[in-house]
Amino acid sequence: MVHAESPVNKLAVLNEISTALMSELELPHLLELILDRVRTAFDVDRCAILHLDANAGRLKMLRAVGYDEVVAHGFEIAVGEGISGWVASTGMPAFVADVRQDPRYVPGVTGAVSEVAVPLKRHGDVVGILDIESTRPLRMQDFDMELLSALAAKCAAALYTASLLQDLTASKYQLEQRVRELQVLNHVGKLLGQVLPLDDVLREILRLAREKLHFRSCAVLLPEADDASVLRIRAAVGYPEATVDRVRIHRGEGITGKVFESGIPRLVDDVTKAAGYIPGIIGGRCEMACPLLSRGRVLGVLDAEGEEPGCFDEGMFVLFSTFASQAAIAIKNAQMLERQQSIYYQTISSLAAALEARDSYTRGHSERVTGLAVRIGERLGLRTGEMATIRQAGLLHDLGKIGIPDGVLNKPAALSHEERGELQHHPAFGTNILGQLAFMRQASRAILHHHERFDGNGYPSGLVGAEIPLVARAFAVADAWDAMTSDRPYRDAMKDDSAVMEIVDNSGHQFDPDVVRAFLHVIGREDLVPE
C-alpha cells in the first residue's frame, strides 16, 4: 500500500496554492497548478476538476492531468451516476479504497483501484467536483480528506473569481462595441444633417465604413437608372475599378440579389458554402449584406466582404445593419436633393433659352458658343469632367443678363462707362442663381470668370493667366468669336478674316495663347498658328 506524502508537505502544498490563488487570475493556469500539486502530494495517477452544469444535470470535465486526450477534453457524467455523480448529488466527499467493490462505481478508465471525490461548493451549493484516481490502492486519513476539502474550497473560489473576470471581460467587450456603435451613428448623423449630393454621400459612407468598421472592401449597390431590377456598384472601396464597372446583380440573384429582393440583412460566414452563391466580387469568403431601407422600400444594398471565413461576428453585423439604416436615410435625402436640383436646372435653362429667343440678335448665341467651346475643349484634350462643365456652363453663361435692365442690354448704340459697369455684373448674377446647385459648382465658377482677360485686365476678379479656370478661358475665345461674327443692333457682323485676326492679335493679352491655338485648329486656320 502506498502512503501519501507527509502531512507537513501537504500543508506546504495548500499554502502554495493559497498564495497562487491570490496572484494568478488565469483560470487554466491555476487549475493546472492545483491538479499538478494534488497529484504530487497524494502520489496518484489521475486528477481532475469537473464543473456542474446545473441545467443539464451533468458533470463536465474542466481540467485534468494523467488522462488521455479524449477523456481530458470530452468526459462528462450525469449527476447521481458513478462516485463523482454521487458526490455531486449528496454534496458529501467520498473515498473508495477499492472501486471494484463499490456498487456506485461506473467502470471508466481501465486499471483504477482507488478514487477520492470531494465537492466544490459555493454558498453551500455544489458547483463541481475535485476527483482523484489511483491505479494503486490509496490510504486516506481524515487529515488527507480535510486537506482535499480545503483544496476543493480553493478551487471553487478560483472558479468563481474566473467567472467574474469572464463576465467583466464580456461587459467590457459589450461596452466597447456600444461605444463604437455610437461613434459610427454620431458620424452618420452629422452626414445626414448636411444633405450632400449623392456622390459625396456615397464617398462619405464608404470612408466611414472603412475607418470605423475596419473593412477592407465595401460597396454601395443601387439599381440601374433604366432597370430597377438590376443592381450595379455605385461606389466602392477595396475593389478593382474594372470589377466595379462590370458587376451587375439581378434581383434575387446570389446573396446581394436576395437581400435586395427580401429586404432582410444577411451575414454569411462562408459564401462558398451558401445556397445560390455566385462567385463573389473579389473572391471574398465572409459577407455581410444589408438592405438600404427607406420607408419600407429597398433603395439598394450595402455589402462588405472579408477574405477569411467567419471574420465578421454577430456584433459587427448588428453594427453594420445600423450603419446601413442610417446610410439609407442619407442616400434618400441625397436622391431627393438631386431630383429637386434637376427640376430647378430645367426651369432656369428653359427660362434662359426663352429670354435669349426674344432677342433676334442673340438668338442661338449660347448654343453656338457652347458648340465652339466644346470643340476647343476637345482640341485641348480636356478631361470628361471639364467637358461636362463646358456643356453645362455654355447654355447658361449669360444667364445673369436676366438681372440687367433692358435699356442697357438692348441699347442700339455703344454703352456709356456706367452702363458698361452695370453690364459687367452679369457673370456674378448668373453665378448667384446657379450657386444653389451642387452639381453646377464647376460650371458656376466658369460662368463667373468668362469675362476675365489673360493679362488680368478683365472682370469681375481681374484674375491672371492660369488663375482663370481653363473652361472660362475657352469660353472667352468662343464668346468673342460669336459676338464679332454676329450682327448687333448698332453694327453689322465682322468678316471672319477680320475677326480671326482680332483674336490672334489679342493672344496673350485678352486670350490664352494655348486656347487661341486650339481655336485656330478648330476653325481650320492652322496657317495662322504661330511657329
Instruction: Give me the residues that bind Fe ion (CB under 5 A), please.
Output: 398
CB 483 to Fe ion: min, Å: 9
**Least separation in angstroms between CB 514 and Fe ion:** 21
Shortest distance in whole angstroms from residue 355 CB to Fe ion: 13
Bridge partners for 233 per DSSP: 221
Cβ-based nearer residue to Fe ion, 256 or 431:
431
Question: Which residue lies nearer to Fe ion by CB, 305 or 398?
Answer: 398
Q: Which is nearer to Fe ion, 134 or 431 (CB)?
A: 431
Q: What cell does 182 get?
A: 455610437
Q: Please tell me the number of Cα atoms within 13 Å of 443 on its side-chain side.
A: 25
Residue closer to Fe ion, measured from CB, 247 or 351: 351
DSSP label at residue 492: P
C-alpha cell of 464? 491672371
Residue nearest to Fe ion (CB): 398
* Residue indicated by cell numbers 492679335: 505
Q: How does DSSP classify residue 75? A: -
What DSSP designation does 81 have? S
CB 450 → Fe ion: shortest distance, Å? Answer: 6
Instruction: State which residue, 51 or 451, has the beta carbon closest to Fe ion.
Output: 451
CB of 369 to Fe ion, least distance (A): 9
CA–CA distance, 84 with 95 (Å, rounded to integer): 10
Cell of 231: 443592381
Closest to Fe ion by CB, 326 or 362:
362
User: 102-119 burial, b if ≥16 CB within 10 A, otherwise e?
Assistant: eebbeebeeebbbbbbbb
Q: How many CB atoms lie within 10 A of CB 461?
A: 15
DSSP states along 277-321:
----SS--SEEEEEEEEETTEEEEEEEEEESSTT-S-HHHHHHHH
Task: Compute the least distance from the CB of residue 479 to Fe ion, in Å.
Answer: 6
Choice between 46 and 473, CB closer to Fe ion? 473
Q: How far is the CB of 305 from Fe ion (least distance, A)?
A: 51
Residue with smaller CB distance to Fe ion, 61 or 448: 448
C-alpha distances (whole Å) from 3 to each of 44, 95, 134 are 10, 15, 12
Q: Smallest gap, in angstroms, from Cβ of residue 190 to Fe ion?
A: 40
Minimum separation from the CB atom of position 430 to Fe ion (A): 8
In the complex, minimum distance from the CB of residue 342 to Fe ion, in angstroms, rounded to a whole number: 25
Residue 253 CB neighbour total at 10 angstroms: 17
CA–CA separation, 165 vs 171, rounded Å?
10
C-beta of residue 390 within 8 angstroms of C-beta of residue 382: yes
Name the residue nearer to Fe ion (CB basis): 112 or 396: 396
**Rounded to 5 degrees, what are φ and ψ at 234?**
-85, -30
For the CB of residue 401, give the shortest distance to Fe ion in the complex, in Å: 7
Q: Say how many CA atoms lie within 13 Å of 509 toward its Cβ.
A: 5
Strand partners, 114: 134
Nearer to Fe ion, 133 or 398 (CB): 398
Task: Give SS3 for 215.
Answer: coil
For Fe ion, the closer of residues 115 and 398 by Cβ is 398
- CA–CA distance, 268 with 408 (Å, rounded to integer): 70
At 230 the three-state DSSP class reads: strand
